[in-house]
Structure 1
Amino acid sequence: MFTKGSRTKRVIAGFAVIVATLVIFIGISSQKRCAAEGKGSDYESIELFTDVMAIIKKSYVEEVDTKKLVYGAINGMLVSLDPHSSFMPPDTYKEMKIDTKGTFGGLGIEITIKDGILTVISPIEDTPAFKAGLKAGDQILKIDEKFTKDLNINDAVKRMRGQKGTRVVLTIMREGFEKPKEFSLLRDVILIKSVRSRMLDNGYGYVRIAQFQEKTDEDLSKALKSLQEEHKGPLSGLVLDLRNDPGGLLDQAVKVSDHFIEEGLIVYTEGREKDSKMQFSAKKGGKEPNYPIVVLINSGSASASEIVAGALQDHKRAVVMGTQSFGKGSVQTIIPLSDDSGLRLTTARYFTPNGRSIQAKGIVPDIIVERLELPKESEKREVMHLREKDLENHFEVTDKDAPKDKKKEEKKEETKDKIVSTRVEDNLKNDYQVMRALDLLKGLEILKKMGSGK
């Protein structure tokens, strides 16, 4: 038998053991909490996510596919970051890889989310969107009868794409519209020709880059070589048209710039990860002659086209003309995932050689030139111009007073003008910005000859 005193002692000892155990347990728990202090909110959020997922799986009115829930959650995460980060299910990821090769079905329109509204970055040249008259900055309020307010970019792209010959109606709001307007577009197979070129005038070339794809650099090399062969020598000047170019592949933008920049930095990127901090510089050799260049940009010029314009501007290799560019200065890294889906994640920002951030600022032209439509030839004839010969008592110049070869010279000039006129497509002849660029190149050539005394 135990005495009362011994029982008391044993109770006290047992209580001490319990207290000690509780202290140890509390200490261990505190250590765990302290170790997870920096990631406490992450653990809590993951726990919240799994709780919600479990509740949905158990209690939602209909049975839900787990993968659908996961995809929706991932997409929601990325949409909350910025307009350019997105999750691509396997079918969308596959389409994205096709896009960079320049062939896909749909409308031919580059879009983004701006101020919460689905917005046109640029219609791609010679596509249904371009032909229908869609413009950079247009707000897409509805796709068919579906409002776009709650659509992410991937969903919007899916709704606009479809089989060739099928129709889609976009409800557009544009600055200057009193109310939204419907545009009916017929889907087509989009075959994007990255580079187009032609001779504007004797020695003055024109190159249009519609989008930066896998073969843009190769196509540009061919175009420049073709122009030089047509001119039978180095060009007198070049108009590089990047208007409504929504961008594309970074490496192609670097290679295009490298054609014209002798040495030095072309573009650099900065991000949080070490791999996102990169520099791209011009390589030695294989450069174009040092002829003058005018780069045309507008609000539809984005991403890769802004890199080219910014690099040539900073190196003083070209005069940038037009209107301020879009301002997409972020780098998206494409990350393939285990189930053939993909992640498009913003990982860095672009900077021009002089350290200018493109993001939300864009490239400001050296010469601001708004887009205007020049009057057509038929309209020009209807305009009355007062000339010396229309004035009363004007005196005539007889053949004796004129130089002997005057008429021949006039005929030569008329013939030359006709040749130039036939070389320039109607849309370029009536393109005010292109004509201003050509005038600038000619003016630079004249000043150069004046300076050399020739």
Structure 2
Amino acid sequence: MTLDDLRTFTDVFNQVRGHYVEEIGDRALIHAAIEGLVTGLDPYSQYLSPAEFRDLDDSSRGRYAGIGVTIEIREQRIHVDSVVVDGPAQRAGLQAGDLITAVNGRPVKGRNLREAVNELRGPPGSEVEVEYLRRPDAPTTVVVTREYITVNSVASERVAEHFGYFRISHFNEHSAADLQAAIEDVQQGGGQPLRGIVLDLRANPGGNLKPAIDIADGFLTEGRIMHSRGRFPAAEMTFEATPGEWAQGVPMAVLVDRQTASASEVLAGALQDHQRARIVGERTFGKGSVQSILALRNGGGLKLTTAHYFTPLGRSIQDTGIHPDLEVDAQPDEAGMADPALNGAIEWLQGETG
């Protein structure tokens, strides 16, 4: 950056501070300038404030600091959808179906979901006052102490008697181990060996890349999983499968949709290129870029695009996505069926296993 560039920046800074229609502080202007510098690069690079940086770190670890509820907005009201068993909210008396009416004495009607979540989350050990309504009772106010809540990214069940269904909502550092354990539980719990596996990556936005690599490795015995290339040699990464497989010889289908992105596309692409799984659903999102997380001295960080992913056969994911082997409307309750993509996957597995 030249001296003239710095002078121009200072000139613009002073003009905005002196003439903008509303008064704005220096810190807010600097923050906006930093955000503009990074967000102007591409849709995925981002400046993270210290609080956002901590949240990202917690998310990658599969945890968050809060009261242990999932909420949803219905008719501008905050409804408790579920509570974590033995979590802070449950111990304080909250139940699924309760209506949260105020947080720290401030009414929450009309808040959007992000605002409501931010109100309930906070540093572990801090307290939050929650007023809730459980009809026909009068409103109840409780003080809840926030703590770290572990988020399980894997859900599983046995479907159509002989097939294991495994959904991964996102990737955190526990996802690979959780999936391996879930496969073992479903295999042992049904009394009969699994004849097929359905891995559901629909609406999975990605997250931590390493668990996706580890999961691909769990279903492959050899060969390349993915390769990345960037501007600098450090961005060149190649991951290879190691011997051993979680479900060797068991046919496999992977469900994808338009919201399947990033690390989940890496996983789907690896299984497709090695013909280990049949991909069912819709073309995926097409986010084939690698974001490195860089810490800053102020406690914040940068999420900066540093490389692009390529599948084992060298296909680029960026903007093209993964094309399914069997194209099906990917969302449940479409085409007059409960879940056309899942049904299509099971039909294919039944054909493979007789």
Shared fold by TM > 0.5? yes
Tell me the equivalent position of 1:9.
Answer: none
Deviation at 1:372, TM superposition (A): 5.6
Show the counterpart of 1:257. 216
Name the counterpart of 1:442. Answer: 350
Aligned counterpart in structure 1 of residue 171 of structure 2, from 212, 236, 241: 212
Distance 2:322 2:4 in 1: 43
Where structure 2 has 5 or more consecutive residues not aligned to the other structure, the ranges are 73-80, 83-108, 121-129, 132-147
- Name the aligned partner's letter for residue 302 of structure 1: A
Q: 2:341 aligns with which of 413, 421, 433?
A: 433
Task: Determine if contact 1:258/1:287 at 8 Å carries over to the other structure.
Answer: no
1:83 is paired with a residue of what secondary structure? coil
Q: Which residue of 2 aligns with 1:355?
A: 314
Q: Tell me by how many angstroms 1:357 deviates.
A: 1.0
Matched residue type, 2:176: D
Correspondence 1:163 to 2:122: no
How far did 1:273 drift? 1.6
How far the C-alpha of 1:64 sits from its partner, in A, is 5.7
Is the radius of gyration larger for structure 1 or structure 2? Answer: 1
Cα distance change, pair 375–352 in 1 and its aligned pair in 2 (3 A):
closer
Q: CA deviation at 1:157?
A: 9.0
Would you tell me which structure has more strand in proportion to its own residues?
2
Is it true that 1:271 corresponds to 2:230 in the alignment? yes
Distance 1:200 1:261, change over 3 A: same
Query: What corresponds to 1:92 in structure 2?
Result: 52
Q: Deviations over 1:321-374 (max 9, x none)?
A: 111111111111111100101111111111111111111111100010114637
Q: Structure 1 CA distance, aligned partners of 2:21 and 2:349?
A: 69
1:39-438 correspondence runs (5 A)? 43-55=3-15, 65-104=25-64, 159=115, 161-164=117-120, 192-232=151-191, 234-370=193-329, 371=331, 373=333, 430-438=338-346
After superposition, the CA RMSD in angstroms is: 3.4
Distance (whole Å) between structure 1 residues aligned to residue 323 and residue 201 of structure 2 = 14
TM-score, with length taken from structure 1: 0.58
Partner residue in 2 for 1:181: none
Conserved? CA contact 1:206–1:238, under 8 Å: yes
Q: Distance in 1 between matches of 2:168 and 2:30?
A: 39
> Which structure shows the bigger proportion of residues in helix conformation?
1
3-state SS of paired residue (2:181): helix
Q: CA separation in 2, counterparts of 1:324 and 1:44?
A: 48
Provide the TM-score with structure 2 as the length reference.
0.73
The one-letter code of the counterpart of 1:254 is I
SS where residue 283 of structure 1 aligns? coil
Percent identical among aligned pairs is: 37
Partners in 2 of 1:373 and 1:56 — Cα distance? Answer: 52
Q: Does the CA-based 8 Å contact 1:262-1:287 persist in structure 2? A: no
1:256 and 1:324 mapped to 2: Cα distance? Answer: 21
* Contact 1:259 1:287 (8 Å CA) reproduced: yes
Distance 1:240 1:375 in 2: 21
**Alpha-carbon distance, 1:245 to partner:** 0.9
Once residues 190 and 439 of structure 1 are traced to their aligned partners in structure 2, the CA distance between those partners, rounded to angstroms, is 38
CA separation in 2, counterparts of 1:284 and 1:98? 32
Letter in 2 for 1:163: E
Q: How big is the shift at 1:93?
A: 1.5
